[in-house]
Chain A
Amino acid sequence: MLKITNLNAWYGEAQVLKQVNVSVDQGDVVVMLGPNGHGKTTLLKAICGLVEKTDGDIVYQGSSINGLATEKLVNMGVAYIAENRELFPYMTVLENLKLGAYAKAARPYEKENLEKIFELFPRLKERRSQMASTMSGGEAKMLAVARGLMSNAQFLCIDEPSLGLQPSLRMELFSTISEINRQGKTIFLVEQNIPHISDLADKIYVMEEGRISFEGSSEDALGNEHLKEIFLGM
């Protein structure tokens, strides 16, 4: 579904991604691990056209998307759930969610998806007319994830969705992600702490210093003592 070859990315003069190769197959959940600040978010941003300077190939469903405007990707069925939320601060929760379904493909499912989301995050339903900027850290993260799910996209790039969520919700979140995946969506997930990662992930990548340092199935990863200690210790 997605194939990245020899991707480099820069912020100004500083190169962050170095010759990254990643491939995500249709229907898979691919998890990317890696220490803080080593380029995971940058990779997702690069896929979604949010990094200004990149080179290399990004092919999505057979067509090259490198350099394509973000909004076009959305219409091609790619959704991005940003680490730092990127909400519309002076709009209500409901308006934020509605905007999540802005893409043409998502509009018919708006109502249906909204209900599902309110089920998953009752807090959002309760606060649907609160201004997004006044939501607590965790609430805002829920809203960001929810807004991404509204897009009905086929391919979801999710960056640390559990950041700041309370433990019970975190567990729920990952089962929801599995659920979504079972419904046929492909998921590219950046996340640090996933309980029972082998239940979720079909494939694991580790990024260190802007390079892919490990690639393999979750079993391979769990078999790797080094990785286990660093990333899966919780």
Chain B
Amino acid sequence: MRLKQMAIIIGVLYGIMAILPVFVGDTRFIMNILVMCLIWAVVASCWDLIMGFAGIFSFGQVAFFVMGAYCSGILAIEHGVPPVFAIPLAGVFTGAMGVLVGLPCLRLAGPYVALVTFGVHMALQPVLRGKIGLAMGSGGSVGLLTIPPVNIFGYTFSSANMVPTFYLTLLLSLACVLVIMFVIKSYWGVAFLALKDSPDFAMSLGISAFKYKLMVFALTSFLTGIIGAYYGHFYGVLSFRMLDLDLFSILMVMMLVGGLGHFPGAVFGAFIVVAGSEMMAPLGAYRAVVMGALVVILVLVLPNGVMGLFTGKQDRAEAG
């Protein structure tokens, strides 16, 4: 897809988002869903960048998200750092963690990378709950319950004033997604594709697999951390329960519905899945059954996700 096409799709998606509060601005429940859409769109896009484009099977995105959230929360609660500063600091922290996790991964083949990164995910929960976490101020198994909301020039963005907070989220989300778009469309993105297609050929043309893979680890964990931090300040509470497999699976489903490696499909996917899941809420326990079945069917009939519908012709010809 061309940069222009991508930009248009993103523009339309966020444009629609931006006018929705006009109709539903006073329904906090729906506004909440919209904020969720915007937040998960970033996480899913980051995941798509590292997995779909860079071809690195990182399963650590949720872990980075939670790390960012906790880091910012702890900074704000324990050290009194104002959220506007705590959020970027959390991003820097998760970015650094991303590099740290990425380093041992660079030598590994796909499923092993997945496992190591997932290991980070699995190990994070005991750390946050245990003594180490408590010593850092994670609140142990209770979690963080008193995270202050974002405050810019004396104006507080919290769920009490949903509409302005929504627009702040929208801006942040859009900024992150645009960064991802430019990365994908820059020569970075091309380098990823090249490395994925033929690492030897790519290296012989001067691409440093090491540098680019590490950079993508850093960037995706940075952005994921930022949005995670924002999430914490938005809800004011955090619990390690986010590390259970549910959220992880749902995020994967978002990517898949959007189309893995078909950015901005992930954004689309996040919007559809969050909204769809809420619409299926009346199904109760059957919701998950239906969701599961839908995923299976979607993979079979829509191999490239929703984005595949747009680029379908193109891709089918290529697949042959």
Instruction: Judge whether A234 is part of the interface by a CB distance below 8 angstroms.
Output: no
Instruction: Judge whether A62 is part of the interface by a CB distance below 8 angstroms.
Output: no
Q: Report the nearest B residue to A12, measured CB to CB.
A: B320
Q: Give the shortest distance, in Å, between B320 (CB) and chain A (any CB).
A: 2
Contact with A along B29-73 (1 / 0, CB 8 A): 000000000000000000000000000000000000000000000
Tell me the residues in window 305-320 of chain B with beta carbons closer than 8 Å to chain A beta carbons: 316-320
Instruction: Judge whether A13 is part of the interface by a CB distance below 8 angstroms.
Output: yes
Q: Give the shortest distance, in Å, between B109 (CB) and chain A (any CB).
A: 13
Bound-state CA distance A223–B319 (Å) is 43
Q: Report the nearest A residue to B320, measured CB to CB.
A: A12
Q: Give the shortest distance, in Å, between B306 (CB) and chain A (any CB).
A: 22
Tell me the residues in window 287-320 of chain B with beta carbons closer than 8 Å to chain A beta carbons: 316-320
A-side interface mostly: strand
Bound-state CA distance A13–B316 (Å) is 9
For A11, list chain B residues within 8 Å (CB). 320
* Chain A: number of interface residues, binned into ranges: under 10
Q: Output the residue of B316, B317, B320 with the most chain A CB within 10 A.
A: B320
For A14, list chain B residues within 8 Å (CB). 320
Q: Give the shortest distance, in Å, between A89 (CB) and chain B (any CB).
A: 14
Q: Give the shortest distance, in Å, between A46 (CB) and chain B (any CB).
A: 15
Tell me the residues in window 6-30 of chain A with beta carbons closer than 8 Å to chain B beta carbons: 10-14
For A13, list chain B residues within 8 Å (CB). 317, 320
Q: Report the nearest B residue to A13, measured CB to CB.
A: B317
Q: Report the nearest B residue to A11, measured CB to CB.
A: B320
Bound-state CA distance A14–B317 (Å) is 9
For A12, list chain B residues within 8 Å (CB). 316-320
Q: Give the shortest distance, in Å, between B313 (CB) and chain A (any CB).
A: 9
10 A-B pairs (CB sep. < 8 Å): A10-B320, A11-B320, A12-B316, A12-B317, A12-B318, A12-B319, A12-B320, A13-B317, A13-B320, A14-B320
**Which 8 residue pairs spanning A and B have beta carbons closest together?**
A12-B320, A11-B320, A12-B317, A13-B317, A13-B320, A12-B319, A12-B316, A14-B320
Residues of B at under 8 Å CB distance from A?
Answer: 316-320
Sample of 8 further A-B pairs with CB below 8 A, known A12-B318, A12-B320: A10-B320, A11-B320, A12-B316, A12-B317, A12-B319, A13-B317, A13-B320, A14-B320
